[in-house]
């Protein structure tokens, strides 16, 4: 217990300066410290505002460069707009796809295309999909969206027509290369002519039975495709 007196003395020594301040001095010191904190906070806010302005200016310059470059190349239409809330640029229009970049409210992005509720955007060196819920859509943006929807619908319709033509062409080729048929008067069976000129009919077992040249039905000699084996010369 020898350390107890030392602890008491140390504690008293630490609190002596506090007792040395009057109530008035204490209030003045506290007020002065609070004013300093407020001043520092105001300076931080000012610096943050300046930083945001500089970032916005950088975005505008970068976007103007992209616009002028696209106008020269004639390859891309860019429409600038701002964000209404914080958002995420993703790698695809899947809401669970990887995030490329986080973007903040009032950030400027360049709209390049529209697809099923998602804008395809440029942000600096990043390009990806941004949900339309994040984007401010003034009249200019709405006009651009309607134009893109019309173009995409026309493109989809053209693609569908091409696919249908391909299917029709395939069906025509299949029909033209398919066997020719006629009905034998003697047997009342359908006689098929294959692509190489061979004639056959389908027997009761569901197999092809080939007819020899000059035969017109069951009455002629024939051979079955399922049972015929060529003789081997010895």
| Residue 3 C-alpha from the chain's centroid | 72
11 versus 200: the higher-pLDDT residue is: 200
**Tokens describing residue 80:** 């600038």
In DSSP notation, 105-137 reads: TT-EEEEEEEETTEEEEEETTEEEEEEGGGB--
229 versus 131: the higher-pLDDT residue is: 131
| DSSP type of residue 232 | P
Q: Which of 3-17, 45-59, 69-83, 189-203 has the lowest mean pLDDT?
A: 3-17
Q: Does residue 200 contact residue 194 with C-beta atoms inside 8 Å?
A: yes
Question: pLDDT band at residue 83, thresholds of 50, 70 and 90?
Answer: very high
pLDDT of residue 107: 92
What span, in angstroms and rounded, lies between the C-alpha atoms of 172 and 165?
10
82 versus 55: the higher-pLDDT residue is: 82
Question: pLDDT band at residue 82, thresholds of 50, 70 and 90?
Answer: very high
- pTM of the entire structure? 0.40
CATH class of the domain comprising 22-157:
mainly beta
What span, in angstroms and rounded, lies between the C-alpha atoms of 234 and 232?
6
Helix or strand or coil: residue 141?
A: helix
pLDDT of residue 25: 79
pLDDT of residue 124: 82
Query: Does the pLDDT at position 223 exceed 80?
Result: no
Average pLDDT rounded to a whole number, residues 140-157: 86
Per-residue pLDDT tens over the stretch 90-102: 988 888 988 888 9
- List residues bridging with 119 in a β-sheet: 114, 130
Average pLDDT rounded to a whole number, residues 139-143: 91
List the chain domain ranges.
Answer: 22-157, 180-224
pLDDT of residue 199: 78
Exposure string for 25-35, b = 16+ CB within 10 A, e = fewer = eeeeeeeeeee
Average pLDDT rounded to a whole number, residues 161-177: 58
Query: Does the pLDDT at position 29 exceed 60?
Result: yes
Average pLDDT rounded to a whole number, residues 120-125: 86
33 versus 181: the higher-pLDDT residue is: 33
pLDDT of residue 165: 64
Average pLDDT rounded to a whole number, residues 96-115: 90
């Amino acid at each position: 217990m020898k350390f107890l007196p030392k602890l008491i003395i140390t504690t008293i020594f630490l609190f002596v300066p506090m007792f040395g301040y009057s109530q008035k001095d204490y209030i003045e010191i506290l007020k002065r410290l609070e004013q300093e904190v407020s001043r520092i906070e105001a300076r931080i806010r000012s610096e943050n505002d300046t930083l945001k302005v500089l970032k916005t200016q950088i975005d505008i310059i970068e976007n103007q460069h992209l616009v002028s470059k696209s106008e020269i190349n004639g390859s891309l239409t860019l429409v600038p707009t701002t964000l209404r809330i914080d958002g995420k640029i993703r790698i695809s229009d899947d809401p669970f796809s990887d995030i490329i970049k986080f973007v903040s409210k009032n950030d400027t992005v360049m709209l390049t295309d529209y697809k099923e509720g998602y804008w395809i955007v440029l942000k600096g060196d990043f390009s990806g999909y941004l949900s339309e819920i994040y984007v401010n859509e003034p009249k200019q943006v709405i006009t651009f969206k309607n134009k893109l929807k019309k173009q995409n619908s026309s493109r989809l319709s053209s693609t569908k027509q091409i696919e249908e033509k391909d299917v029709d062409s395939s069906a025509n080729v299949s029909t033209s290369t398919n066997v020719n048929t006629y009905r034998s008067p003697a047997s009342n069976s359908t006689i098929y002519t294959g692509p190489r000129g061979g004639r056959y009919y389908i027997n009761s077992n569901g197999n092809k039975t080939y007819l020899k040249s000059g035969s017109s039905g069951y009455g002629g000699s024939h051979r079955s495709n399922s049972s015929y084996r060529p003789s081997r010369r010895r």
